[in-house]
Amino acid sequence: MMDEFNVMQTIPDLLLGITFGILSAFLFAVQNVLFKSQKNSISPTTANTIKIWIGLATVSVIVILPFRPPGGVIPFDTIMILAISVLFGAAFGDLAYLISQNRVGVSVAFPIAHTFPVFTYIFSMIFLGEFFYITRLGGVILAVMGVIFVSKQENAGKEPHELLDTGLDRIGILLAVLASVMFAIATLLIQVGMTEIDPVDGQFVRMFFGSLMMVPIFILYRTPGNTIPTRRTMKIIIVGSFFGFAFGSLLFVASIKYAGATISAVVGTTAPLFALPLSFSHLKEHITSKVVGGTALTVIGVVLAVVGVA
């Protein structure tokens, strides 16, 4: 099904989708670095809730803009598919990632979580009938090696004052992998759900249900006695949510619409390339040459896994 979709794509649509994907990757990288800078001032659950509510408010304004063409009626099954996609992606997936990021650092959690194109390819073969290519199998192996290489570095991904002799937090690594799987499922669901509708309308559906889903999650994980985030922290989280999530996720959905899930997932792997220099310059994270090498290996492997041919 995905290969058939790619054949039907026009070159302008493909280029537009790739452009949207690159912009989305950059905005997601900025968002996550901003969120990490405030990790001691706000809980991951609170940050994730604010992020999705900002996303809903932003897309709601875009939906009612007078110069937008009116959207058609969205089928009920499409609404359900998009609702489930946001559950896997923006709700549970992002929450798992944010907790992982706080435990092991942006420079470790980000590359691991962004191996999701590997799982996208595997799931697309299982559920959407995409063909198997030996080159892509080699890419999967390279990507897994890169993830292991990064995760094995004992002091990688932590600020200098956090360096410990105990090595990386295994729970943090596991959460990053779990986030990767959830992002893959969400990507495929968006591909299926966006086939016949406008990206803005589809994103509105996703943000509406995502905001509803975050209410019980926020209540469940709220810890009594938590300090109220400072005004500065709230401003940073809101700015990061507005640019990084509200527009970043909208651009990602548009990328999937025009370029397909596979290509959009590949382009999404460029996000760690933006995040690494940002986390080094702004967060002063301890990034070793081995972490950089592992990240590069992961990105190369993911690219081969999703665009390689026999």
Instruction: State pLDDT tens for residues 205-221.
Output: 999 998 888 787 677 66
Could you give the C-alpha distances from 218 to 37, 79, 93, 98, 273, in angstroms and in order? 21, 23, 15, 14, 31
pLDDT of residue 138: 86
What is the DSSP secondary structure assignment for residue 180, as one 8-state letter? H
Which two three-digit tokens encode residue 260? Answer: 């397909």
Output the pLDDT for position 7: 44
Q: What is the pLDDT of residue 154?
A: 41
pLDDT at residue 134, as a whole number: 86
The pLDDT of residue 185 is 95
Cβ distance 189 to 78 under 8 Å?
A: no
Distance CA 231, CA 237 (A): 10
The end-to-end CA distance of the chain, in Å, is 18
pLDDT of residue 3: 47
> Residue 34, class by beta-carbon neighbours within 10 Å (0-12 exposed, 13-18 middle, 19+ buried)?
buried
Total of domains in the chain: 1
In this predicted structure, what is the pLDDT of residue 85?
94
pLDDT attached to residue 265: 86
Domain residue limits at 300: 2-63+71-307
pLDDT of residue 155: 42
pTM, two decimal places? 0.78
All residue ranges of the chain with pLDDT < 70 are: 1-9, 70-71, 150-168, 217, 220-227, 272, 279, 281-287, 306, 308-310
